[in-house]
Amino acid sequence: MDLTLTTYLIVGATFALYIGIAIWAKAGSTNEFYVAGKGVNPIANGMATAADWMSAASFISMAGLIAFLGYDASVYLMGWTGGYVLLALLLAPYLRKFGKFTVPEFIGDRFYSKPARVIAVIALIVASVTYVIGQMKGIGVVFSRFLETSFEVGLFTGMAIVFFYAVIGGMKGITYTQIAQYCVMIFAYTVPAVFISLTITGNPLPQLGLGGTVASGGYVLETLDNILVDLGFSQYTMMKGTTLNMFFLTMSLMIGTAGLPHVIVRFFTVPRVRDARLSAGWALVFIAILYTTAPAVGAMSFYNLINTVQPGEVGAEEGNLAYENVPDWFSRWEETGLLEFEDKNNDGRIQYYNDNSEAFADTAAEYGWAGNELTVDRDIMVLANPEIAQLPNWVIALTVAGGLAAALSTAAGLLMAISSAVSHDLIKGVINPGISEKGELLAARIAMAAAILVAGYLGLNPPGFAAQVVALAFGLAASSLFPVLMLGIFSRRMNSAGAMAGMVSGLSFTLIYVFVYKGWFFVPGTNMLPDTPEYWLMGIGPQSIGAVGAIINAIVALLVSRATAPPPVHIQELVESIRVPRAS
C-alpha cells in the first residue's frame, strides 16, 4: 500500500481512539477536571506521566542529539531521568497528601500569601508557555513532512484534537488519552530500534546491542570511535565539554524536571500517598524504556549513516560513496531538506568529515577533500530510521503517529497546567473567591480553550527567542519553584517572607545571568558578554545556571526566614500533617 495512504490510516486511527476516549471520559466536576477525580491507578498514572513528560523533542530529536554529541549528550539522559528521584523522594508524596488541585495553590496556602501564589503562577505560565510552543511546532512539522499538508493545516488539526479531549475531559480526558498515546509512542520507538539493533549487532535488545559487535567483529562503540577519529572528529565516548559545566547542566535539568508544574500535578491524580510514591517509580520505568533505547538508536543510526557514505577505506578515492549510487531513502530525505549534499571537490562522491578541525585540515587536503559535503539534520536519526533499516511502510507510518502522540500528550499536559493556574489560582483564588463550582468548571473550560488558541497562535508565529527560552524553562523551574516547594515541606520554620525572597532572588539571578549572555529579554545584540565558554562565570553556561539559582534561592529563603517571625501555628500544623500519609 502507498506510504501516504498507510500513514493517513494509522494516524487517523490513533486520532479516532483519542476522540473516543474523550467522549468516554467527560469531566463532571472541578475535582475531575483538575485532578481526574483523584482516582487514577498508580501504574496508569505512571504511563500518563511518561507521555506527559516525553515531548516531541524526546521522541524526534533526542537520538540525533546523542548521535552528534556522543558522550556529552549524557547530560540530557541523566538530567531528564534523575529528576524523578528528587520528585519521588522530596515532593510527590507530600504534595499529594496536601490534596488540593494546583502547585501555586500549595505555595499560596503553605506560605499564607496571595502574592507568593501569584509569583508561582507567573513562573508556571512562563515555563509552560515556552514549552508548548515547541510542541505546536512539532505537530505542524510532522504533518507537513509526512501527510503532505501545509504546516498550518497540521497545526490546526492538532489544535482541534487537543481542544476536543482537553476541554471536554480536563485532566480526566487528558490522563486516559495520554495512556493511549504512551502505548503508541513507545511501540513506534522500540520497533525500529529492535530492527536496527538486530541488523547491526544481531542482538534484538538495543540496550545490549549497543555493547555488541558489528559485522567486522569490533564493538559498536569502539568502531564508531575509530571511524570518527579517522574523519577528524573526537571520539564518540569521550567528554568534549568541561566537567564543571556538565555537572551543573545535569543538576539544572534534574532540579528543573522535579520543579515543572505540569509533571508535579500528575501526582495529585492518584488515590493515596503511597500511590504517589509508587507512581513516580512506574513513570521512570516507562520513561527509561525510551531513554535507554535512545542511545542505541543514536549510535547505531549514526554508524549506519557514516557507513553508507564512507563504505570503504578513509582517504582512498573509492572509499566514498558515489552520489549516483545513493540509496532511495537518501534521495527522499534530500527532498525534505533534512539531508543536503554539495559536491565541493567535484569528484561526484560524498565526503563527510570534520572540516572545523585544524589538526585534520592537512590530512583532508592530502585526500583531495575540499570541505564537508553532507549536512545532516539531527531529526533524521529517528524519522528516517525505519527506511534505512528497510522496514515496511506501516512501521514508518507508526513513527509518524508516535511523533504526533508525543507532541499532543505533552501539549495537553502543559495546557492543563496553564489553564488550571488561570481558572483555579487567579480567578477562584484571587479575583473571585465566591465563584460557584459550576462557574469555576466553566471558567476552567474557557481558560483551556483560550490557552489552546494562544498556543496555536504562538506556534504559527513563534517569537524569535522561542528556541532559547525552552532551555530557560528548566532554569526557571529549578531556580524558582523547586527550592520553595522542598523547603515548604522539609523546613517547618520556613515562612512567607523567606519563600518570597528566595523565589525572587533565585529567579532574578538566573534571568540576569541568562540575559547577560543571550541579550536582555533575548533582543539580539544587547548581550553584555559573548556567549562562549571563555566568558562564562567559571565556565558555567547560561543553560546550566539554574542549579546555581536554586542554591541561591534556598540560601536566601533560609536566611530571611530565620531573621523574621516564624509561620503561624496552623501553618506549622499543616506541615506536620503533610509529613504523614494517614489523614488525622
Contact 261, 103 (CB under 8 A): yes
Binding of another protein by 213 (CB under 8 A) = yes
Q: Is residue 196 within the footprint of another protein (CB under 8 A)?
A: no
Residue 273 as a binder of another protein (CB under 8 A): the answer is yes
Q: Does 281 bind another protein (CB under 8 A)?
A: yes
DSSP secondary structure, 191-205, as one string: HHHHHHHHHHHS-S-
292 part of the interface to another protein, by CB under 8 A: yes
| Residue 43: CB minimum distance to another protein, A | 12
Contact call for residue 288 and another protein (CB under 8 A): yes
> What is the smallest separation between the CB atom of 347 and another protein, expressed in angstroms?
36
Q: Specify the 3-state DSSP secondary structure of 320.
A: coil
What is the torsional sign of CA 342, 345, 350, 355? negative
Query: Which sign does the torsion angle of CA 405, 408, 413, 416 carry?
Result: negative
Pairing mode, if any, of strands 374-376 and 339-341? Answer: antiparallel
* 277 touching another protein, by CB under 8 A: yes
CB of 404 to another protein, least distance (A): 26
Minimum CB distance to another protein, residue 536 (Å)? 18
Of the candidates 19, 43, 78, 205, which one interacts with another protein according to CB under 8 A?
78
Is the Cα dihedral 18, 19, 25, 30 positive or negative? positive
Q: b vs e for 352-371, b when ≥16 Cβ sit within 10 Å of the residue's Cβ?
A: bbbbeeeebeebbeebebee
Nearest approach, Cβ of residue 567 and another protein (Å):
17
Identify the H or E element spanning 339: strand 339-341
Q: Is 219 in the site for another protein (CB under 8 A)?
A: yes
Phi-psi region at 541: left, alpha or beta (left = phi > 0; alpha = psi -120 to 50)? beta
In which region does residue 508 sit, left (phi positive, over 0), alpha (psi from -120 to 50) or beta (all else)?
Answer: alpha
The region of 475-483, 550-558, 566-574, 576-584 touching another protein under the rule CB under 8 A is: 576-584
Whether 567 contacts 496, CB under 8 Å: yes
Q: Which helix (H) or strand (E) holds 376?
A: strand 374-376
Q: Is 17 a binder of another protein (CB under 8 A)? A: no
From CA 211, how far away is CA 215, in angstroms rounded? 13
Q: How many CB atoms neighbour CB 332 within 10 A?
A: 14
Nearest approach, Cβ of 287 to another protein (angstroms)? 9
Applying CB under 8 A, the site for another protein has a residue count of: 52
Least spacing, CB of residue 282 vs another protein, in Å: 9
Select from 172-180, 288-296, 368-376, 407-415 the region that touches another protein (CB under 8 A): 288-296
Which range binds another protein by CB under 8 A, 8-16, 24-32, 266-274, 419-427? 266-274
416: Cα separation from own chain's centroid: 16
Q: Please tell me whether residue 272 binds another protein under the rule CB under 8 A.
A: yes
- For the CB of residue 186, give the shortest distance to another protein in the complex, in Å: 15
- In degrees rounded to 5, what are phi and psi of residue 404? -65, -40
- Grid coordinates representing 243 are 566537567
CB 154 to another protein: min, Å: 33
- The C-alpha cell 517569537 sits at 463
State which of positions 225-264 bind another protein (CB under 8 A): 237-239, 243, 246-247, 250-251
Candidate list 185, 210, 258, 401; residue touching another protein; CB under 8 A: 210
- Cell matching residue 509: 539571578
Question: 164 or 219: whose CB is closer to another protein?
Answer: 219
By CB under 8 A, name the binding residues for another protein.
Answer: 66, 71, 73-74, 77-78, 81-82, 84-85, 88-90, 93, 207-208, 210-213, 219-222, 237-239, 243, 246-247, 250-251, 272-274, 277-278, 280-281, 284-285, 288, 291-292, 295, 490, 576, 579-583
